[in-house]
Chain A
Amino acid sequence: MKGRLILENGLVFEGKVFGYIEQSVGEVVFNTSMTGYQEILTDPSYYGQMVVMTYPMIGNYGLNLDDLESDGGKVRGLIIKEPAKLPNNFRCEMTLEGYLRQHKIIGFKGIDTRHLTKVIRDKGVMKGIITTEELTQEQIKKEIGKFSNLEAVSIVSTKNTYEMPCNKKEVVAKIGMIDYGIKRNIIRSFHEKGCDLTVFPWDVTAKEVLEHNIDGIFLSNGPGDPAQLKEVVEEIKKMIGKKPIVGICLGHQLLAIALGGSTMKLKFGHRGANHPVKDLEKNKIFITSQNHGYVVDKIPEGVDVTQINLNDNSIEGMKDYKNKIASVQYHPEASPGPKDSKYIFDDFIKLIKEA
């Protein structure tokens, strides 16, 4: 079925819709990973966004029930050049089209995705609407204007606190995890290392967290602008110094703000599986998986930058030795992307245990 993607600057792409066909509005971002569309679709950090895959052929190996990063699709729309007709892989359980339909995500295909990518690169990320209707300028403006992603974290986070034991004989650490939209592979990664987890909702108070019998706190990834999460930051401030705190992505940004730093929005974000990050402590470079639109631009006082992005020198990791805080901007849990920086989980656990 014919459809259109209309960007907020008025640019129109004519293509075809597929999957779950219902008009959708979101922030249009691009991802340069050549594999991992399933993980991307289900990553809660993409909540509110429509993702353009720069790789032109998507769905080739289908989807399965093991590689989901949350309970279902999280993106507002998936924009691709061409979906696979006959996916194949020994674990393939569903087609892309089927999965999108199941999870009520609109797909948009058949456009010059490279051109769209370059528009976003040059003009910055912007909102867009995928529709099958003939909308007037006014309607478009109105629909796009209605879009807000302020509630994203509250929507993707757990509503209740729950326990996730690792079921290993020897438990290395007990970690309290605040879920701003956590990816499943972070949980799997801590489990593999032998950590028992208590998962809290995003709006948990510091008091409640600290009342639990935990060795340290983990702040998860998640969608949206960290600067908008003022109450969350206030609660984090209350935990600083009480327990070791580690964080990934949004968790990292929130920590930076809580410690007195600040964040800014990147023009078009970092989304891909090929970002070189230098670990300044190890003096080594690791290729990382990334998905963030905001970045820490001012490092808090007394906090060390431990990792930087080699492409644009942005901050990728920090440590506050005094308060036992460490965090990274990228995704050491990969999924999708390279697993080179899995060691970060060991570093986190070490920091928590040292306390």
Chain B
Amino acid sequence: MLDKSIKKTLVIGSGPIVIGQGAEFDYSGTQACETLKEEGIEVVLINSNPATIMTDKEVADRIYIEPITLEYVKKVIEKEKPDSVLVGMGGQTALNMAIELEESGLLKKHGIKVLGSSIKSIKRGEDRDLFREAMDKINEPTIESAIVENLEDGLKFANKVGYPLIVRPAYTLGGTGGGMADDEEQLKNILLKGLVLSRVGQVLVEKSILGWKEVEYEVMRDENGNKITVCNMENIDPVGIHTGDSIVVAPSQTLSDKDYQMLRTSALNIIEEIGIVGGCNVQFALHPDSFEYAIIEINPRVSRSSALASKATGYPIARVATKLSLGYTLDEIKNDVTGKTYACFEPALDYIVVKIPKWPFDKFMKADRRLGTKMMATGEVMAIGNNFESAFLKGVRSLEIGQYGLEHSVSKSMSLEQLKKRIVNPNDERIFDLAEMLRRGYTKSMLQKLTGMDPFFMEKLQWIVGQEEILKKTKLSDLTKKKLKNWKKKGFSDKAISNFMGIEEEDLVVKRKSLGVIPVYKMVDTCAGEFEATSSYFYSTYDDVDEVEVSNKRKIIVVGSGPIRIGQGIEFDYCTVHTVKTLKKLNIETIIINNNPETVSTDFSTADKLYFEPLVLEDVMNIIEKEKPEGVILQFGGQTAIKLANDLHRLGVNIIGTSAKNVDRAEDREKFEEVLEKLNIKRPKGKGVWKVQDGIDEGNRLGYPVLVRPSYVLGGQGMEICYEEKNLKMYLEDSFIRDPKNPVLVDKYLNGIEIEVDAICDLEDVLIPGVMEHLERAGIHSGDSITVYPQQNLYEGTEEKILEITKKLAKELEVIGMMNIQFIAYEGEIYIIEVNLRSSRTVPYISKVSGVPMIELSTKIMNGEKLKNLGYGVGLYKKPDIVAVKVPVFSTEKLGGVEVSLGPEMKSTGEVLGVGKTVDEAIYKGLVGGYRIHDIKNKKILATIKESDREEFLSLAKRLKNQGCELIGTKGTAKFLNDNGIVCGGVNKINEESPNIIDKLKNQKIDLLINTPTKANDAQRDGFKIRRTAIEYGVEVMTSLDTLGAVLNIIESKIDKEDLEIFDISKL
């Protein structure tokens, strides 16, 4: 029964997106807020992440985009006086905050009820000791382990049980700081890091159960003790690889009913004992050759897995969990999909779901790609099919790594010996390595021994590989309907089939259609067809009967943005959802195509119809041909959707908004230069070169520094700034060895202020909701810069100039909808760097702060309305009274071997917003919210500054001294400072005797490392190693002096931190 005493609930979000805590909590948080509102409860939300749906006016009543720290949560509580708090939807961040709130006595003081699982239950689920005690009590097996708080105890345990051992720090996310130790040296290394990273200085050292099957159960319990299982999942990769980095299938495939029920019963017993109210995730290790099992861990909250389970089954876990936390029981909650049955049942699937992680290694080529107990994926794709092969192959092509089949160029180029080595030390390409080995006749049984993967899956891979080989020998004339249909049933894409056959994809498509081989769509209905369902959630198969009812209404397809990756994050899902909401308001039927299970856009209640399909031409086109919409919207789905523009246009699809031709004119460097020339708009000088000497000549002509990059890349991949001829020469030589066929672009690097605008255009007018300024100077990727709105440092009249250029470009490129432009203001001139004819990363943030519903306006314009009639005016929109700052958040510590220093290549995974009355206040709050260094008083700072920056650093160093900081520096830096009258201690270099710089960082004697790098991305260099060591040991690293300046400004402006106001963003 609903607890009627609940009137006002504080919901705690999960904060910035980092590896291990992603978009899934926007999905669950949004569902939770909407559910609370449906019950008439006032929702107060705190979440520092502005790129979320949950921080929208429509979702919560009062929205605080403020730091999720005790201090700020306290401010919200004191201001809003909620009677209850919901903490199970905001991942580890919210759970940890719940414990802090309880321990601080705030909950008791304000009489706040914790909804859902109690604090006691949360602690029993999270605290290693308490959890093991609980499991011992009900005779549920855990893994032989010891909780240690120092190195000695860890080594003692190791001596007792032997190696290998797994180390897991308590209260951390995605296994941060954990790892596997094969010997004492490794154990020491991992243990020390883990102890530092755990919030409570506790680390679990456990016996390795490497090679056991990893199986998860998503379970729910209400306060009456009714319990159900929503879904179970089996990791194809056995224990040893973090579940977030594993390929996962749902439901389990290789468990007999006895195995399945044994673990199910155990999961239900566990949540009964822990006292869960709501959702919980239980992870098991199951011995492959017996009934022996052990519990790895539980998550007493919704999780990434529960988001996956929700999408895999059609059962909305977060919605139901929220209702349970309000006192409802499972039999009081309707199953929205069938409308007849209740939430108290277990979904039956009549299809199989495959999840594949999306890793950032296409971006970070030099990263340590080895998979282990520490999660590295930034996102994931899900695919649905009614056989394993089809779901798996759909998943593979959804990854956007250029793979349409299992033949992979890297794996192909390796010897069997190399491949064998790679699969026992698996990286993100293991699945392709395995396929290659099977292709060459390596035995399944040995592969199973080496990898622990079940032969059941191995056989599936082998079958796919075998078919690929058959396809290579098949001619177009050999294709019969039967053969082709069979391949299509098993998920082979047109592209893969035609590639293997050595024919054009178009020819295959023509043949396929002439044979009448076209997909049908089946419904995800939670009940395997047992009950009539009203679900509008579909996936494709090559069966006989189609279940989709195509309407005659006006309808538009919106293409989503696929898996979350660095550079294309949750903000595009925000845009997708908003365009759908607007289309619904315009009474247009909405259809979403997307493949990311973590998002709000793939919540089956978001659009009128959801097709959970790969975002490649074939799958998108099939839906278009079936639904016959009046058009498709691509400009909100990031690069994933935009890159379909040309092909869809060619096939005669109406692309709503800016035309494909103009998108291409903005993306293609040469065409874009023509546009700029024609409009007389300046850009930094430069040109493409094919020879080292030409590049050096160009460098000398332009004058240093120069910005260099390969010509074919997007999003700053491989970009560098060269400050002198020596660096340039090295870069050019390197590039031409790797790729002699493509030019390198050498541009003048302008050391100016970077400016960014998002504009809404309708062919006649342009509206710029806000002009943003980047705090760090040009050369650092816009996604990694602290972004200030409204701009603070531009000359009078600059904004007007920007408006003029924007208008000119909008007109020339015939922009209908969104456009994003990046400029550099340098010595009184405006230069253009980049134009994207799509929505951008900053849209959600600016929409919220400026109050201009940018996506709504754009969507309306794309449907024929005019800006001047939409009520927000044209030109530059009025500036707000506050300052809002977007602060990037990084997960670099989780990605071994990845460069730490900021540069032209984007590295951040998420962002937070800081809102204040002044820019200093806003930056301060942003840094607090991003859990970055924000208070620089009396700190111990290690500085290693490159020569060209030292002059500039001098004044900053003085200011640091004024704040009582102690400086130590590497030889050159220390000498320079001392020579200039600033006392700076010395430190030994990496190769010198202990304690050297590395020891200092490891031993926590340093609060901040300031390092301006001479050369990025070179793992052999000292600077790289120093930066990596710092972040891996939790020492903050600053690589831009601009950031340092801003932090100093904060402390010097003496803002009253205690008294900082919090802002309800919905009331600005």
Residues of A within 8 A of B (CB): 30, 32-36, 38-39, 54-57, 60-61, 64, 67, 81-82, 84-91, 112-115, 117-118, 121, 268, 272-276, 278, 283-285, 287, 310-311, 334-340
Q: Decide if B459 touches A115 in the complex (CB within 8 Å).
A: no
- The one of B290, B350, B527 in contact with A113, judged by C-beta atoms closer than 8 angstroms, is B350
CB distance from B26 to the nearest CB of A (A): 30
Q: Bound complex: CA of A34 vs CA of B351, how far in Å?
A: 10
| Residue among A30, A39, A287 with the highest chain B CB neighbour number at 10 A | A287
Indicate if B330 sits at the interface (CB-CB under 8 A). yes
Provide 14 A-B residue pairs closer than 8 Å at the C-beta atoms, listed in order of the A residue. Answer: A32-B528, A35-B257, A55-B251, A61-B256, A61-B456, A112-B544, A121-B529, A275-B345, A287-B228, A287-B229, A310-B342, A310-B344, A310-B345, A339-B261
* B interface residues, tally (CB under 8 Å): 56
- The one of A34, A39, A268, A284 in contact with B226, judged by C-beta atoms closer than 8 angstroms, is A284
Residues in A whose Cβ lies below 8 Å from that of B330: 276, 285
Q: Decide if A56 touches B351 in the complex (CB within 8 Å).
A: yes
CB distance from B545 to the nearest CB of A (A): 4
Nearest B residue to A40, CB-CB: B257
Q: Bound complex: CA of A88 vs CA of B330, how far in Å?
A: 36
Residues in B whose Cβ lies below 8 Å from that of A114: 350, 386, 522, 528-529, 543, 545
Q: Bound complex: CA of A272 vs CA of B340, how far in Å?
A: 18
Q: Decide if A82 touches B254 in the complex (CB within 8 Å).
A: no
| Residue among B228, B254, B528 with the highest chain A CB neighbour number at 10 A | B528
Contact flag A121-B530 (CB < 8 Å), given A82-B387, A284-B226, A338-B261 = yes
Which chain B residues (209-235) contact chain A, with CB distance < 8 Å? Answer: 224-229
Q: Decide if B350 touches A284 in the complex (CB within 8 Å).
A: no
Nearest B residue to A271, CB-CB: B530
Q: Bound complex: CA of A118 vs CA of B265, how far in Å?
A: 31
Nearest B residue to A35, CB-CB: B257
Residues in A whose Cβ lies below 8 Å from that of B346: 273-274, 287, 338
Residues in B whose Cβ lies below 8 Å from that of A339: 261, 265
Residues in B whose Cβ lies below 8 Å from that of A32: 348, 350, 527-528, 530
Which chain B residues (559-595) contact chain A, with CB distance < 8 Å? Answer: none
Q: Decide if B345 touches A115 in the complex (CB within 8 Å).
A: no
Indicate if B258 sits at the interface (CB-CB under 8 A). yes
Q: Decide if A85 touches B459 in the complex (CB within 8 Å).
A: yes
Indicate if B153 sits at the interface (CB-CB under 8 A). no
- The one of B251, B345, B347, B458 in contact with A311, judged by C-beta atoms closer than 8 angstroms, is B345
Q: Decide if B528 touches A55 in the complex (CB within 8 Å).
A: yes
Residues in A whose Cβ lies below 8 Å from that of B527: 32
Residues in B whose Cβ lies below 8 Å from that of A90: 288-290
Indicate if B264 sits at the interface (CB-CB under 8 A). yes
Indicate if B255 sits at the interface (CB-CB under 8 A). yes
CB distance from A268 to the nearest CB of B (A): 8
Q: Bound complex: CA of A39 vs CA of B256, how far in Å?
A: 10
Residues in A whose Cβ lies below 8 Å from that of B256: 35, 38, 61, 64, 67, 89, 91
CB distance from A8 to the nearest CB of B (A): 20
Q: What per-residue 1/0 map shows which CB atoms of B240-272 lie under 8 Å from chain A?
A: 000000000001111111111100110010000
Q: Decide if B259 touches A89 in the complex (CB within 8 Å).
A: yes
Residues in B whose Cβ lies below 8 Å from that of A64: 256
Q: Decide if B253 touches A60 in the complex (CB within 8 Å).
A: yes
Indicate if B388 sits at the interface (CB-CB under 8 A). yes
Q: Decide if B348 touches A56 in the complex (CB within 8 Å).
A: no
Q: Bound complex: CA of A65 vs CA of B255, how far in Å?
A: 16
Contact flag A86-B544 (CB < 8 Å), given A35-B257, A54-B350, A113-B350 = no
Nearest B residue to A112, CB-CB: B543
Q: Decide if A335 touches B257 in the complex (CB within 8 Å).
A: yes
Residues in B whose Cβ lies below 8 Å from that of A82: 386-387
Q: What per-residue 1/0 map shows which CB atoms of B525-554 lie under 8 Å from chain A?
A: 001111110000000000111000000000
Q: Decide if A88 touches B228 in the complex (CB within 8 Å).
A: no
Indicate if B952 sits at the interface (CB-CB under 8 A). no
Q: Decide if B257 touches A39 in the complex (CB within 8 Å).
A: yes
Q: Bound complex: CA of A310 vs CA of B260, how far in Å?
A: 24
Nearest B residue to A270, CB-CB: B530
A35-B260, A114-B545, A285-B344 known, 15 other contacts, Cβ within 8 Å: A35-B261, A55-B348, A60-B254, A61-B456, A82-B386, A88-B455, A112-B544, A113-B350, A117-B529, A272-B348, A285-B226, A287-B229, A310-B345, A311-B345, A335-B257
Contact flag A89-B254 (CB < 8 Å), given A81-B386, A121-B529 = yes
Q: Bound complex: CA of A86 vs CA of B290, how far in Å?
A: 19
Indicate if B454 sits at the interface (CB-CB under 8 A). yes
Which chain B residues (312-351) contact chain A, with CB distance < 8 Å? Answer: 330-331, 340-342, 344-351
Indicate if B778 sits at the interface (CB-CB under 8 A). no
Indicate if B672 sits at the interface (CB-CB under 8 A). no
Q: Decide if A88 touches B456 in the complex (CB within 8 Å).
A: yes
Residues in A whose Cβ lies below 8 Å from that of B528: 32, 54-55, 114, 117, 272
Q: Bound complex: CA of A50 vs CA of B344, how far in Å?
A: 29
Q: Bound complex: CA of A278 vs CA of B229, how far in Å?
A: 16
Q: Decide if A56 touches B386 in the complex (CB within 8 Å).
A: yes
Nearest A residue to B486, CB-CB: A110
Q: Bound complex: CA of A87 vs CA of B346, how far in Å?
A: 26
Contact flag A55-B257 (CB < 8 Å), given A112-B544, A285-B344 = no
Q: Decide if A60 touches B456 in the complex (CB within 8 Å).
A: yes
Residues in A whose Cβ lies below 8 Å from that of B531: 121, 311
Q: Bound complex: CA of A90 vs CA of B291, how far in Å?
A: 9
Contact flag A88-B545 (CB < 8 Å), given A82-B387, A117-B350, A121-B530 = no
Residues in A whose Cβ lies below 8 Å from that of B331: 276, 278, 285, 310
**Across chains A and B, which 10 residue pairs bring their CB atoms closest together, nearest first?**
A36-B257, A86-B459, A54-B528, A274-B346, A32-B348, A336-B257, A35-B257, A112-B543, A117-B529, A115-B545
Q: Bound complex: CA of A89 vs CA of B455, how far in Å?
A: 9
Q: Decide if A33 touches B348 in the complex (CB within 8 Å).
A: yes
Q: Decide if A86 touches B456 in the complex (CB within 8 Å).
A: yes
Residues in A whose Cβ lies below 8 Å from that of B252: 35
Q: Bound complex: CA of A81 vs CA of B261, how far in Å?
A: 24
Indicate if B819 sits at the interface (CB-CB under 8 A). no
Residues in A whose Cβ lies below 8 Å from that of B115: none
Residues in B whose Cβ lies below 8 Å from that of A287: 228-229, 345-346
| Residue among A32, A39, A284 with the highest chain B CB neighbour number at 10 A | A32
Residues in A whose Cβ lies below 8 Å from that of B350: 32, 54-56, 113-114, 117
CB distance from B339 to the nearest CB of A (A): 12
Nearest A residue to B347, CB-CB: A274
Indicate if B352 sits at the interface (CB-CB under 8 A). yes
Contact flag A283-B224 (CB < 8 Å), given A89-B254, A311-B341 = yes
Q: Bound complex: CA of A89 vs CA of B463, how far in Å?
A: 19
Nearest A residue to B522, CB-CB: A114
Residues in A whose Cβ lies below 8 Å from that of B341: 310-311
Residues in B whose Cβ lies below 8 Å from that of A272: 348, 528, 530
CB distance from B242 to the nearest CB of A (A): 24
Q: Decide if B268 touches A274 in the complex (CB within 8 Å).
A: no
- The one of A84, A112, A268 in contact with B456, judged by C-beta atoms closer than 8 angstroms, is A84
Q: Decide if B545 touches A112 in the complex (CB within 8 Å).
A: yes
Residues in B whose Cβ lies below 8 Å from that of A115: 543-545
Q: Bound complex: CA of A117 vs CA of B346, how far in Å?
A: 18
Contact flag A117-B530 (CB < 8 Å), given A35-B256, A274-B346, A339-B265 = yes
| Residue among A30, A114, A284 with the highest chain B CB neighbour number at 10 A | A114
Q: Decide if B352 touches A57 in the complex (CB within 8 Å).
A: yes
Residues in B whose Cβ lies below 8 Å from that of A335: 257
CB distance from B1034 to the nearest CB of A (A): 43
Q: Bound complex: CA of A64 vs CA of B257, how far in Å?
A: 12
Nearest B residue to A61, CB-CB: B256
Q: Decide if A67 touches B257 in the complex (CB within 8 Å).
A: yes
Q: Decide if B386 touches A276 in the complex (CB within 8 Å).
A: no
Q: Bound complex: CA of A287 vs CA of B228, how far in Å?
A: 7
Nearest B residue to A269, CB-CB: B530
Q: Bound complex: CA of A352 vs CA of B459, how far in Å?
A: 52
Q: Bound complex: CA of A34 vs CA of B250, how far in Å?
A: 11
CB distance from A34 to the nearest CB of B (A): 5
Q: Bound complex: CA of A346 vs CA of B839, how far in Å?
A: 64
